[in-house]
Structure 1
Amino acid sequence: MGGCVIYWFTGASMQAVTTGAYQAVVFIKKNIKLDKKEASIEDSKEVVKICTQYAQKGMINIFIVIFFMTLALSFFNPYYFIGYLIAIAFFGLFQAIFMANAGGCWDNGKKIVEVDLKMKNTPLHEATVVGDTVGDPFKDTSSVSLNPVIKFTTLFGLLAVEIAVTMTDVNLKLGLAACFFLIALIFVYRSFYSMRISEEKLDDHKSKAKSKGKGK
């Protein structure tokens, strides 16, 4: 279970970054003239606002899942929670190392192509740009965020277990655990499907790109 939560978290955090970045790009293409010498402060504020809004939406979903999943397992069985805690620490450590290294490799690969090989505006450069687009959220979002997830789960989970152990009504504990688990699953669903870029927007974006290409 702990490993599942780690892999879900990395996917959900990257989904939030992807959606926010897409909305920012759409706004920039519609409202900002990139050939201007000076950037508009108002336009810049709007881009920051868009990115912040989607970051907060993703963060709320993620926090609620981590919060209620910890409560659910603590109330279900203290020993089960111990296994969950060990798994989340073990998988979280190696996932963080993997994502930090992989993201850094993608980022440095683009820099090598641009600076050392001097191959900008080539197919190789385009490939490294795609890699860097994935690498940045790998190393700057998901990997570094795993540390507070592990810390919060540990500290809050131990408090929740202490409360659960003092409860004598087994049926009440299991009922609360089931409710907490259900809430967590709802927000797991929301973390992906409420943050996805709608297919209509993607199709509209693709059709506009094709029409521009034909016009040229």
Structure 2
Amino acid sequence: MLPQVNADTRWNDLRAGGPVPLIMKARMTWVYEHLAPAGPLKTDFMASGGSKGWVARLHMPSPVVGYMIAAEVEDTSARTWPAHLQPGDLNPVTGPKIWVGLRQHDVTGSQGFDWDYLASLWPLMSAAHDDWITTGPGLPTPHDRAAWRCIGSPRHLGYGFGHREAIKNNVCMFGARIQLPADTQLGQIVDELHKVAQLLLNMATVKPPVEQ
């Protein structure tokens, strides 16, 4: 059974001896269960690949076949969470990140990802939030890095999963991230995601650039 939490529970409120992954799963589960976005947005909940964390997602089809306009919330510090917090340990939870962007499905690589389409969404994204993470993304694949450099948008519009994920799971995704404070209350996370849900609905009205 998952630990009990509520809207006032702070994301990183841990006590010595607590089972960290189970506690954090309870918190992300609560967030997911309290999402109520307007249609046609849908939500789902999944384990984070390669870590002890969990991901709550919102998404809807974009005007372009094969793409989803999407958002995800995840605490990427889950990769280093211990099984139990020991007395004297530093709090290992850094806070959830909200990713917003385009997810492309049914691909065998990321070469065909439409970076110009992603760039066309940036004005709406920029107007909706002023707290995007501004460091550049790590893009290990040369063609992903080259495409990212060509779009001429802020250097932080490129976070996600590229060619490696496309080869493995037939999906790639790129966008931007917001870092929430580690001590954010669960109710506040839900409020932020509902604001993001409205942004996604607005992004879905943007027609992609026409190729010359």
Task: State TM-score, norm by structure 2.
Answer: 0.25
Determine which structure has the larger strand proportion and give its number: 2
Q: 1 or 2 for the larger relative contact order (CA 8 Å, sep ≥6)?
A: 1
Task: State TM-score, norm by structure 1.
Answer: 0.25
